Amino acid sequence: MNREWKHTLLAAALVAGLGLPTASSVFAADRDDRDVPGIVNEAKVVKESKDAISFKLPDKGQVWLYDASDKKVLHSIELREGDTYGFNTKEDRIYVNEREGPKVSLDRDHTYRIYFVTDADRDGRNRDTGRADRSDRADRSDGAARVPDTAKVVAEGRDEELSYRAKDEGKAYLWDNTNNRLINTYNLQDGDRITVSPRSNAVSVNEKTIKNGDELNRKTEYRLLFDQNHTR
């Protein structure tokens, strides 16, 4: 981690100690006016800042970077217990485990929040309700393609590369959040890495480009889901 990043995080922590809302109070206020399809209801605000901040995961789960000023999700990723996730508005950069991650456009006048949900909380929701979050599942109008309830969001964003390495055999689903439609599905083996690049208009598995027949748009928000229970 570079010196500027460390100093910025320290300053953010000091500011937080001088009166920023606590995670619980931010969560309570935010839920009253937020309707963001990309974040499951069980997720909670764990950090908030206008410049830079970092969060260490207490358990395996999923994090979201949320622009509270524009009310939109900028990035999402699944991480393991002990991993760190943060951002720096001076660098327009996301950090994962103190290493440089994807570039995102961050306005220094905006307020940003990190949402987090554990796998246990999210999976418990699916078992209890028998269905997935309304934003995670949808059918094509022709009924030909369906995202199963057991599929989990593994990456999400707009105008950035989405990537996921399969931890088991299963199927990946590329979902268009903006137009609410399924783009395509991809069968993956354990260890396969799928990468979606709207800027290059390409989807690849293990660095081998796959021809979709669908154009990827940098202005469109995409979501990548994976289901280890489905391979057909």
Map out the domains of the chain as residue ranges: 3-120, 131-227
Cα Rg, the chain, nearest whole Å: 18
User: Does pTM surpass 0.85?
Assistant: no
Place of tokens 């709207």: 198
Two tokens, residue 92: 């327009």
pLDDT of the residue at 178: 81
Two tokens, residue 108: 């220094």
Distance between CA atoms of residues 1 and 51, nearest Å: 16
Which amino acid is residue 143, in one-letter code? G
Distance between CA atoms of residues 182 and 142, nearest Å: 11
Return averaged pLDDT per consecutive 10 residues of the chain, 232 residues in all.
49 41 38 56 89 92 90 89 93 91 89 91 56 39 59 85 90 87 90 90 88 76 84 52
